């Protein structure tokens, strides 16, 4: 008898456990208030009696201990905590004060990407501040202003003319702008582009090591706390990747590549075959004795400098990157149109499959584009 009681006791406990485990599933079932017919999770009208069955109001977002972020009821990230963006800005300010403007740029760019996940109603001026800080990081191409060699900084055209002594006179035409610098008096020389690309690459390495030391994890080129990474939707991941997409491989995001003709100097040897370091020798005969007289005068072509502006790069030392047409980034992905996400192939972008959230896209309705990996670039 004791064995029978024990058997029934264990059976009742097992049955109670099954019922308790099934309660959430039963609680999720919706029925029509008019006819009692079972409804789908997203149905707004009864398929049996056509009664209107509005969806229950969505529960309020909850605050979670994950870095103070706002989460959806199913535990996904809704908004990132603005303090995370603030800390990223402070990291950039810190390395910027140490003189590492290139690494500071990467921190500010990452902060701008994280700001895309923050509540837009609580911007608190972060976007405007980041825009200013990124601009203060300076010209990414490393351009340097140099005095125009043709007009010597005047911005006016220089005319050459001969005299009775067969030498050259250079006159400044105040009414005509210099054709080389378009009247500005200076040229933007980008220096050794390859050296600038090396500097940018080293700054990225320093930035990446710093983020790893903070125990951050990467989503594409974006970095964020590890506790948040697994709560991102496909759309949020794509937003981070788009904002930090890889620059053009040929120009490292500068938009220009080093001129091959002048090796980045902006100047080439004088085209006058008789010019020797800016001087031209002429031989003439004088008097009855036919004495040969050798004279040296400045070259008419280079004005005595021995070099002229490189015609291939207009004296800038670099040319427009042919791979990205100066944009600094590869073209947009053809499949997703640069968005980084496409409609889920299983639920067709609805986020619901069979009346329940789609398991393939976790109810987001979007998946990362397989062609670009989510960054929207080819």
Any idea what the Cα angle at residue 248 is, between residues 242 and 252, rounded to 5°? 110
Which residues constitute the domain of residue 362? Answer: 331-378
For residue 255, give Cα distances in angstroms to 55, 251, 316, 365.
52, 6, 13, 36
| Residues 199 and 339 grouped into a single domain | no
Under 8 Å between Cβ of 237 and 222: no
Q: What string of pLDDT tens digits covers the 378 residues of the chain? A: 444 454 444 445 444 444 444 444 444 567 787 787 777 766 777 877 887 777 666 555 544 446 688 888 888 889 999 999 999 999 999 998 888 888 999 999 999 999 999 999 999 899 999 999 988 875 544 555 567 777 888 888 876 554 444 444 555 556 788 877 778 777 665 557 777 888 888 999 999 999 999 999 999 999 999 889 889 999 999 999 999 999 898 888 888 888 888 888 888 999 998 898 889 887 776 666 666 677 888 898 888 888 998 989 888 888 899 888 888 889 999 999 999 999 998 898 898 888 888 888 888 899 999 899 898 988
Residue 304 counted as domain residue? no
Residue 163 counted as domain residue? no
Residue 52 counted as domain residue? yes
| Residues 85 and 209 grouped into a single domain | yes
Residue 234 counted as domain residue? yes
- Rounded distance, CA 40 to CA 47, Å? 9
What pLDDT is attached to residue 34?
77
| Residues 338 and 230 grouped into a single domain | no
Of 81, 137, 82, give the one whose Cα is nearest residue 109. Answer: 137
| Residues 81 and 132 grouped into a single domain | yes
Q: Decide which of 19, 41, 58 is a domain's last residue.
A: 58
Residue 116 counted as domain residue? yes
Tokens, residue 196: 């600038």
| Residues 50 and 82 grouped into a single domain | no
| Residues 134 and 214 grouped into a single domain | yes
Tally of structural domains, the chain: 3
Q: Which residues, including other chains, have CB under 8 Å from residue 324's CB and lie 6 or more apart?
A: 248, 250, 251, 255, 330, 331
Q: Decide which of 245, 264, 284 is a domain's last residue.
A: 245
- Rounded distance, CA 79 to CA 85, Å? 12
| Residues 70 and 93 grouped into a single domain | yes
Of 352, 77, 371, give the one whose Cα is nearest residue 233. Answer: 77
The pTM of this model reads 0.63
352-363 burial, b if ≥16 CB within 10 A, otherwise e?
Answer: bbeeebbeebbb
């Amino acid at each position: 008898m004791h064995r029978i009681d024990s058997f029934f006791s264990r059976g009742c406990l097992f049955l109670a456990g099954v019922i308790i485990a099934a309660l959430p599933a039963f609680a999720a079932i919706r029925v029509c208030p008019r006819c009692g017919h079972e409804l789908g999770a997203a149905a707004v009208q009864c398929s049996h009696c056509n009664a209107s069955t509005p969806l229950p109001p969505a529960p309020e977002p909850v605050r979670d201990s994950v870095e103070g972020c706002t989460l959806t009821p199913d535990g996904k990230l809704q908004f990132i905590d603005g303090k995370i963006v603030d800390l990223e800005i402070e990291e950039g300010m810190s390395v910027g004060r140490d003189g590492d403007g290139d690494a500071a740029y990467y921190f500010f760019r990452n902060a701008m990407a994280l700001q895309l996940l923050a509540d837009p109603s609580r911007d608190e001026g972060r976007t405007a501040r980041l825009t200013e800080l990124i601009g203060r990081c300076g010209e990414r191409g490393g351009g340097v202003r140099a005095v125009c060699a043709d007009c010597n900084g005047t911005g006016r055209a220089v005319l050459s003319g001969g005299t009775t002594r067969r030498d050259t006179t250079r006159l400044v035409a105040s009414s005509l702008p210099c054709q080389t610098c378009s009247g500005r008096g200076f040229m933007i020389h980008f220096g050794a582009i390859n050296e600038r690309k090396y500097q940018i690459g080293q700054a990225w390495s320093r930035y990446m090591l710093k983020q790893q030391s903070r125990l951050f994890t990467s989503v594409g080129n974006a970095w964020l706390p590890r506790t948040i990474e697994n709560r991102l939707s496909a759309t949020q991941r794509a937003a981070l990747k788009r904002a930090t997409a890889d620059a053009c491989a040929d120009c490292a995001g500068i938009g220009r590549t080093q001129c091959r003709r002048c090796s980045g100097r902006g100047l080439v040897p004088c085209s006058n075959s008789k010019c020797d370091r800016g001087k031209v020798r002429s031989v003439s005969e004088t008097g009855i004795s036919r004495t040969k007289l050798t004279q040296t005068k400045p070259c008419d072509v280079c004005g005595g400098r021995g070099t002229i502006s490189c015609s291939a790069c207009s004296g800038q030392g670099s040319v427009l990157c042919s791979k990205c047409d100066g944009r600094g980034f590869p073209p947009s992905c053809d499949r997703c149109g640069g968005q980084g996400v496409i409609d889920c192939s299983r639920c067709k972008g609805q986020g619901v499959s069979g009346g329940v959230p789609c398991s393939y896209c976790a109810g987001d309705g979007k998946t990362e584009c397989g062609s670009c990996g989510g960054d929207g670039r080819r």
